[in-house]
Amino acid sequence: MNQIARPMPRPTAQVAAYVEVLGADLAVQFILQFGGAQLYLADDPKGQSDVEKLLGYDRVKELAARPKLQRRIPLAKRWLAEMLDWKGYSKAAIARTLRLSDTTVSRYLAGQYAPARD
């Protein structure tokens, strides 16, 4: 059975910079691990932080150089739900991963709970 590949969900404004620097897969992992936390991203990381262990020196330095990047990492649950769905996760697996109910995940994926995107 041939399925037409769906395009990757468009990053929201709050996660666009992370996706640009890290790529979609690493941005998802980063937001799942650090979302909701306020982080200090050092201009010259020393290899001791959990963030640098995940991202590497160059990516941390590049994120730190972005002046408009918020220091509190977004939760971005709707975008994460869309990304995990795009990657083939079941609704139940998405709900468990994001600590949401399955009905909330279904509504996110149906385009409810938030204004429609252009």
Task: Render pLDDT for 8-21 as a digit per residue (tens, 0 to 9).
Answer: 999 999 999 999 99
Residues 32 and 58 in one domain: yes
Q: Based on the domain organization, do 58 and 88 belong to the same domain?
A: no
**91 in a domain, yes or no?**
yes
Q: What is the pTM of this model?
A: 0.86
Q: Do 18 and 56 sit in the same domain of this protein?
A: yes
Q: Are 77 and 58 in contact (CB under 8 A)?
A: no
- Rounded to 5 degrees, φ, ψ at 102 are -65, -30
53-108 pLDDT tens trace: 999 889 999 998 988 888 899 999 999 999 999 999 999 999 999 999 999 999 99
Q: Are residues 92 and 53 in the same domain?
A: no
Q: Where are the alpha helices (DSSP H) in 1-118?
A: 13-22, 24-34, 50-55, 57-64, 77-86, 91-98, 102-110
Q: Are residues 55 and 33 in the same domain?
A: yes
Q: How many distinct structural domains can be found in the chain? A: 2
> Where does the pLDDT of residue 3 fall: very low under 50, low under 70, confident under 90, or very high at 90 and above?
low
The answer to the question of residue 95 being in a domain is yes
pLDDT of residue 111: 82
Domain hosting 99: range is: 77-110
d(CA 23, CA 63): 12
Instruction: Indicate whether 6 belongs to any domain.
Output: no
